[in-house]
Amino acid sequence: MKTIKDLPEHSRPREKLREKGASALTDEELVAAILGMGTAGVDVRTIARQVAGLIREHKTGLTLDHLQAVPGVGLAKAGQILSAFELARRHLIKDTIKITVAQDVLPLVADIAGKQQEYFVCISLNGANEVIEKRVVTIGLLDKSPVHPREVFADVIADRAAAVIFAHNHPSGVAEP
């Protein structure tokens, strides 16, 4: 059984969170970061994969019983996950954002405007042009941010997005290639 410690350090959920921010993590990585560790016989990545599937399936209807049906998830781990959901629901959930014109994207990327490094951001949209997810794909240097298609499209495909918007900042202030 492979554990998180068997992964290269840059691929571990908590280290990736520190380096790239929470929005760069997959659902499975976010669950693994919340749980921290697995149990005897079940590694955290296996648990996280199953829990992320339940989250996608049940969304706001997710219950302790659903979570505790996953091998390795008891009351404590199920409670951690549901508590994180409730905290997010109370403080972070916003109305659906619909993109109809280019200017609708500006508030979504305003946070990268003043950064001293180049950020490459991906925004997944559903068929109604509503935002599914915004993620930081890469954080580069002052004047470049290398981006590999695999890194960009993996999350877009997982989101089952109908459209995607890419954005990046220009820390140097020069908006020319």
138: alpha, beta or left, given left = phi > 0 and alpha = psi -120 to 50?
Answer: beta
pTM for the whole structure: 0.52
Domain positions in the chain are: 4-91, 102-168
- Per-residue pLDDT, 74: 94
- Per-residue pLDDT, 40: 86
Read off the amino acid at residue 177. P
- Per-residue pLDDT, 8: 72
Residue 129: alpha-carbon gap to chain centroid: 19
Q: Under CATH, to which class is 102-168 assigned?
A: alpha beta
As a dihedral over the C-alpha atoms of residue 58, residue 60, residue 65, residue 66, rounded to 10 degrees, the angle is 20
Phi, psi of 168 (to 5 degrees): -150, 160
- Per-residue pLDDT, 174: 72
Q: Are the C-beta atoms of 32 and 44 separated by less than 8 Å?
A: yes
- Per-residue pLDDT, 23: 84
Mean pLDDT for each consecutive 10-residue tract of the chain (177 residues)? Answer: 69 85 88 90 92 90 93 95 87 80 92 87 94 90 83 90 93 72
- Per-residue pLDDT, 49: 94
- Per-residue pLDDT, 120: 92
- Per-residue pLDDT, 152: 86
